[in-house]
Amino acid sequence: MDTVSTPCEECGGTRFQAAVLEHTLGDLNIAQVLDLPVAKAHAFFADGPARTPPPRRSSRASRTSGSVMSAWVSR
């Protein structure tokens, strides 16, 4: 006998609340992102709408972390 399943009317089977699905990254919600095949997810995060620019470092942060790192390495 075949298995019968009925997706939830509220979430459509995504298991996320509607309030969660309202938030998007690029043009996809979390359920859609998690359903992406690996190659498409890579493109989505690498060059697509979810791409984020590399972090910027101020000269002060560079000096501080450099001196902290130097102190740590010299121990």
Structural domain of 46: 1-52
Question: What mean pLDDT do residues 48-75 have?
Answer: 63
What pLDDT sits at residue 37? 97
Q: In total, how many domains does the chain have?
A: 1
- Per-residue pLDDT band for 27 (boundaries 50, 70, 90) equals confident
Whether residue 61 is predicted with pLDDT greater than 90 in this model: the reply is no
Q: At 29, phi and psi to the nearest 5?
A: -90, 175
* 75 falls within a domain: no
CA-CA distance, 40 to 50, in Å (whole number)? 12
CA dihedral 20, 21, 24, 30 (to 10 degrees): 90
In a domain, 47, yes or no: yes
Q: Which residue has the higher pLDDT, 53 or 64?
A: 53
> Is residue 24 helix, strand or coil?
strand
Inside any domain, residue 23: yes
